[in-house]
Amino acid sequence: MQIQSIGPQLALGTNPSQRALKKTNRELQKLLEQIATAKRINRASDDAAGLSIAEQLTTQIRGFKTASQNLSDASAALDIADGAGREITDMIQRQRELAIQASNDTLTDTDRKALNTEFQAITQEISRTAEATNYNRQQLTNGKGLGLGNAQVQVGPNPGEALTVPVINFDAAAMGIQNISIDTSRGAQAAISKASDILNSINTQRSVIGATMNRLTAAGDNLANAMINTQAAESVIRDEEMAMGLAQLTQQQILQEGAIKTFSRYNEISKNHILGLLQ
C-alpha cells in the first residue's frame, strides 16, 4: 500500500518540493520575460487593472502624436498662405507706385497707357497667385478650399478640440482691384485710394493668419508637455523597474536552485524508501 501511495504522488506532482519547483519556474519565466521586454505588464494576467489604465494612457499618447502632426500640417499651410500674402502685398505696393506716377499730369495719355499695361499685368498675376497657391491640392488663398473659413484643425486627442482656419482671400476680384485702370488721371487717383484699402485688408488677413499660427504653436507646446507627462505616467504603470526586477530574478533563481536540490533529495529518499520496502 505504501508503494502505491508514493507512485501517484510522483506522477501527479503533489509532493511539496515538486509544487514549489513548478511555482518557482513559473515566476522565473515571468521575471525573465519582464526583464527581456523591459515591461512589467506584457499580458492582461500580469496586472488586469494596470493594463486597462496603461492602454487608456497609450490611446491618449497616440492621439497627442497625431494631433501634433495635424498642427504641423496646419502651420505649414498657413505659412504658405502668409508667403503668398507677402508677395501679393509687394505687387499691390508696386501698383500703388504706378498709380501715383500716373496721377502726375506731366505724363501723356500714351505714358499712362504704358503704365497701365504693367498695372493690369500685375492684377492678373495677383489673381493667378491667389488661385495657384494651395496645400495638399486644396486651394488656400482665394476664399475657397482651406481658405473658405470653415476648415477645422484637430489640435487634441479628444472630440471638440479643434481650431478653425480663418478666411483667406487675396483674389484680385474679391479685393476689388480687377476693374481698376490708371490710363487716365482720374483712374489713377482712384487706384491710389483703392490700393491703400487693399493693403489694409491684406495686412488684416495676414495679422489673423499670424495670430492663428501663434495659437497653433501654443497648442503644440501644450501637446508636447501633455504627451511627456502622459508617457511618464504610462511608463510607471507598464514598464519594469529594472533594479527591482533583477533583485527578484536573483531571489527566484536562488529559490529555484533550492527547490531543485530539495526535489532531487526527495526523489532520492523516496527511491531508498521503496528499495527498503522491497528488501
Domain ranges of the chain: 2-40+240-278, 50-237
Chosen CATH of 50-237 out of 1.10.10.10, 3.40.50.1220, 3.30.2310.20, 1.20.1330.10? 1.20.1330.10
Model-wide pTM > 0.85: no
The model's pLDDT over 15-29, given as tens digits with 9 standing for 90+, comes to 565 565 565 666 556
The predicted pLDDT at position 209 comes to 97
The predicted pLDDT at position 31 comes to 53
Contact present, 73 and 152 (Cβ < 8 Å): no
Q: What parts of the chain have a pLDDT lower than 70?
A: 1-45, 239-279
Contact present, 206 and 79 (Cβ < 8 Å): no
